Amino acid sequence: MTVELVKHSAADTDVLWAARVSTAGEQSLDELNKDPERSKGLINFLMRDRHGSPFEHNSMTFFISAPLFVFREFHRHRVGWSYNEESGRYRQLQPVFYVPGASRKLVQQGRPGKYEFVEGTAEQHALTGRAMAGVYRTAYETYLEMLEAGVAREVARAVLPVGLYSSMYATCNARSLMHFLGLRTQHEQAKVPSFPQREIEMVGEAMEEQWSKLMPLTHAAFNANGRVAP
């Protein structure tokens, strides 16, 4: 899975001028040229007391490559997000499929809401890789056979599994990204526990790493206040 920040207009100062307009009016424009470090207390106050709208006046666009089952979960995040994804109706899809790496915990224990994942055995990893590769190969060969027979791409794609990689642009603001991270990552500073699937968590971690460099004060306040979106 890959995450690339392709475009952004996002800085800690965006939070400050948006917040200060409520008391300073047009003088809030002065914040555009000031060092945000001098006002990190305000950012922390806004985060702590959940004054969320000042965190919306920014934008980040990511180019993400991940399996379809990751995008299925991604698209549940709708407020503050825009998506445009590669289309199997308009292009032939490429044979790139997901197989878990050796570090992926394979065995699920517990009941819904209290799942725990533990390490798989060497035999389980071998079976998983072999089974997935076999299904992927058969599915993609069938897909090509249907295309060569003149079947429309939008019909033929139905035989492909959710382990197929797709790509998309995802655009969000800091507030919507924080909400995403609160649900899709596990973190020792989180007030509210989350139990994301590891694959979407990997995408979330990559997005967070890039966002933290753009808005370090906002990111620090997010962590300091329990990783709950304001």
Rounded to whole angstroms, the Cα distance separating 132 from 145 reads: 20
Residue 117 parent element (H or E): strand 116-118
User: Which residues does 68 contact at the CB level (< 8 Å), separation at least 6?
Assistant: 161, 162, 163, 164, 165, 166
CB burial of residue 189 (10 Å; 0-12, 13-18, 19+): exposed
Give the amino acid at 81: W
User: Which residues does 197 contact at the CB level (< 8 Å), separation at least 6?
Assistant: 70, 73
Alpha carbon of residue 119 to chain centroid: 24
Q: Say which of 20, 157, 175, 184 is annotated catalytic.
A: 184
**Annotation says 184 is catalytic:** yes
Alpha carbon of residue 228 to chain centroid: 16
Instruction: Give the residue numbers annotated as catalytic, written as ranges.
Output: 184
